[in-house]
Amino acid sequence: MGDYVDRGYYSVETVTALVCLKVRYPHRVTILRGNHESRQITQVYGFYDECLRKYGNANVWKNFTDMFDYLPLTALVENTIFCLHGGLSPSIDTLDQIRALDRVQEVPHEGPMCDLLWSDPDDRCGWGISPRGAGYTFGNDISDQFNHTNNVTLIARAHQLVMEGYNWCHDRNVVTIFSAPNYCYRCGNQAAIMELDEQRNYTFLQFDPAPRRGEDHVTKKTPDYFL
């Protein structure tokens, strides 16, 4: 659900793997756009510099950011789970309004496309000004009305660090799923993914951060074929 880059030292490898999976399984993999799939943001938060460091020029960065323009903004799973990176927009009431957006462009600084990638749920009702400087905050009343209007049961989104990898809010109208463990190599958070069975029941799988090389508690295990 977005933000595949700017999240560590291996953004190029991460987004390359995702694109390969999309090519291999085009009808089974959907790659949504996040607010970091952007030319402006990636020049500030690391992906641009990573491409320069690894390839000596910005060609790879340009090719990836051109590709980002074509990523979908939202997805609807089993007609009941609305997936996106950020959150809702005061300019959007229905899913048809999202389908009508001209999304093949750089992420704008304002407007409905920006809101879908930048907004966050909030404990306060109604719409609020986002402290991020882009998008909005939205309350339980907003998400409840959106779900009712569009006949969906859940908004699944990412965009915010949650220590256990996932977090329910808005009376379970909204769930935040964060899949980057030990964010920025210092937060110590778990990662999570959500699985959906044939009865549309949710299961969350949580992952601890992988040990890093050079850490005291990391021990090298002898491969089985040497035993």
State the catalytic residues. 36
Q: If we measure between CA atoms, which residue out of 182, 177, 183, 154 comes closest to residue 165?
A: 177
Q: Backbone phi, then psi, for 33, in 5-degree steps?
A: -90, 140
- Which residues does residue 175 pair with via DSSP β-bridges, in sequence order? 156, 168
User: Going by DSSP bridges, is the β-strand pair 174-177/166-169 parallel, antiparallel, or unpaired?
Assistant: antiparallel
Q: What torsion do the CA atoms of 145, 150, 153, 158 make, to the nearest 10 degrees?
A: -80
Which of these, 211, 217, 174, 222, lies nearest to 194 by C-alpha position? 174
- Which of 106, 25, 100, 45 shows the shortest CA–CA distance to 71? 106
Query: Residue 73 is encoded by which pair of tokens?
Result: 């903004």
CA–CA dist 42, 115 (Å, integer): 18
The four Cα atoms 210, 212, 215, 218 give a dihedral, to 10 degrees, of 50
